[in-house]
């Protein structure tokens, strides 16, 4: 009798446990907002995968005027850090490569990376803020 009761409790415990349904890694729609007041960012390219698989994660965003936002581009996965390069006044600026190994992905969302120059002499861009705009509809 005790064995049957223990077995019933074990079965109830197993059926009561729910698996967490993980949100898919993507796709994610990304765009850039140029936070500079006087500098045009031309030939903007974003790599949202960092050092991971870059297939489907490198996108050309074109030219972004001062204070303006680019169009959304769909990537397979996006992280809080991204490698962004742009031509500003004929010189290439970049956030530098990103190791996304321990970063949490955004999932199925639309996000905006707010970018500005952090070091003009060394041509360094910086992501100042990331705005989660909205969830993608299935």
Strands (E), the chain: 28-34, 41-47, 58-64, 73-75, 83-88, 91-94, 109-119, 124-135
Number of domains comprising the chain: 1
* 105: containing domain: 24-135
Give pLDDT, residue 115.
97
Question: Would residue 89 count as lying in a domain?
Answer: yes
Give pLDDT, residue 41.
97
CATH assignment of the domain containing 127: 2.60.40.2890
Question: Would residue 33 count as lying in a domain?
Answer: yes
For residues 106-117, b (16+ Cβ closer than 10 Å) or e, as one string?
bbbbbbbbebbb
Question: Would residue 6 count as lying in a domain?
Answer: no
Of the candidates 116, 109, 55, the residue with the CA atom closest to the CA atom of residue 79: 109
Question: Would residue 40 count as lying in a domain?
Answer: yes
Dist. CA 121–CA 105, nearest whole Å: 32
Question: Would residue 18 count as lying in a domain?
Answer: no
Summarised one tens digit per residue, pLDDT across range 29-78 is 999 999 999 999 999 999 998 766 666 788 999 999 999 999 999 998 99
Range with the poorest average pLDDT among 16-20, 85-89, 126-130 = 16-20
Summarised one tens digit per residue, pLDDT across range 95-119 is 999 888 888 899 999 999 999 999 9
Question: Would residue 17 count as lying in a domain?
Answer: no
Question: Would residue 19 count as lying in a domain?
Answer: no
């Amino acid at each position: 009798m005790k064995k049957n009761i223990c077995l019933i409790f074990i079965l109830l415990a197993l059926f009561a446990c729910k698996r967490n349904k993980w949100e898919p890694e993507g796709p994610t729609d990304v765009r850039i907002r140029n936070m500079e007041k006087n500098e045009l960012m031309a030939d903007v390219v974003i790599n949202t995968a960092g050092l991971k698989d870059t297939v489907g994660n490198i996108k050309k965003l074109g030219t972004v005027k001062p204070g303006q936002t680019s169009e959304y581009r769909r990537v397979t996965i996006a992280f809080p850090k991204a490698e962004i390069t742009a031509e500003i006044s004929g010189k290439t600026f970049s956030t530098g490569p990103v190791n996304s190994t321990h970063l949490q992905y955004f999932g199925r969302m639309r996000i905006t990376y707010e970018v500005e120059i952090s070091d003009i002499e060394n041509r360094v861009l910086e992501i100042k803020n990331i705005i989660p705009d909205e969830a993608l509809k299935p």
